[in-house]
Amino acid sequence: RKEVEQDPGPFNVPEGATVAFNCTYSNSASQSFFWYRQDCRKEPKLLMSVYSSGNEDGRFTAQLNRASQYISLLIRDSKLSDSATYLCVVTLTGNQFYFGTGTSLTVIP
Amino acid sequence: GAVVSQHPSRVICKSGTSVKIECRSLDFQATTMFWYRQFPKKSLMLMATSNEGSKATYEQGVEKDKFLINHASLTLSTLTVTSAHPEDSSFYICSARPNPRASSYNEQFFGPGTRLTVL
């Protein structure tokens, strides 16, 4: 079983739509959670950390559900520039980072 | 802050040659650096974890004699692809993790990647 699983998509949504991604993780001892964004042929860049209390950054909201072992990312009022692959990352102890396969989003004019 | 550079950004080489890729943390010390490779439309695959001053830890299936990693200082790690073949063509990305005293210790900061094409 993979440590982190994501629906690869692709998600094709119109501008202005709200879109949500989920990511599940298998190890209940996982400590830290992140969403990264990766543009085509570029390196991943941190979008936001995910906390149990949930956190919001502008149009982006991240949630963590430890009981069900999933994290989510909600994007409101989608922009064309949001088109990218979104990676969820889960860490265990030490240097154990686990990446999901990424969810592809295309925002259509 | 937390900038990671990689050099070169792109390299094309003949089969059988060796290629060295450098990864530098520019404004922080990184006791740990990671090397990934990524094929088109695929996820990042961790190749090895590099700790300053010690031998790298390779993931299963990654040949340590083919992918030589050196982490001689707190700001520099190198990956050398030895005797490269066309199947080694890929996007190689490094990342760096700040030292344990840093507030961003749990994050990874990625370099811009190196696109290797072996003819």
Whether the CB-CB separation of A45 and A87 falls below 8 Å is answered with no
Site from A32, A43, A92, A103 to mutate, B interface, most B CB atoms within 10 angstroms:
A43
Task: Per-residue pLDDT tens, chain B, 119 aa: give them.
Answer: 689 999 999 999 999 999 999 999 998 888 889 999 998 878 888 999 998 888 899 999 999 999 999 988 889 999 999 999 999 999 999 999 887 777 777 788 999 999 999 99
Whether the CB-CB separation of B95 and B68 falls below 8 Å is answered with no
Using CB atoms, pick whichever of B49, B106, B113 lies closest to residue A32: B106
- The nearest alpha carbon in chain B to A101 belongs to B43
- The nearest alpha carbon in chain A to B93 belongs to A43
- Torsion-angle region of residue A9: left (phi > 0), alpha (psi -120 to 50) or beta? left
Helix (H, G, I), strand (E, B) or coil at A8: coil
Which residue in this structure is represented by tokens 């990446």?
A: A99
**Would you say residue A26 has pLDDT above 70?**
yes
The token duo for B97 is 């993790």
| Residue B1: per-residue pLDDT | 63
Contact state of B93 with A89 under an 8 Å Cβ cutoff:
no
Strand-pairing partners, residue A15, are none
Chain B CB contacts of A49 below 8 Å: 106-107
Spell A44-81 as b/e; 16+ CB within 10 A means b.
bebbbbbeeeeeeeeebbbbbeeeeebbbbebeebeee
- Is B106 near chain A, with CB under 8 Å? yes
Contacts of B39 by beta carbon, 8 Å cutoff, 6+ apart: B45, B90, B91
The alpha-carbon gap from B52 to the nearest alpha carbon of chain A, in Å, equals: 13
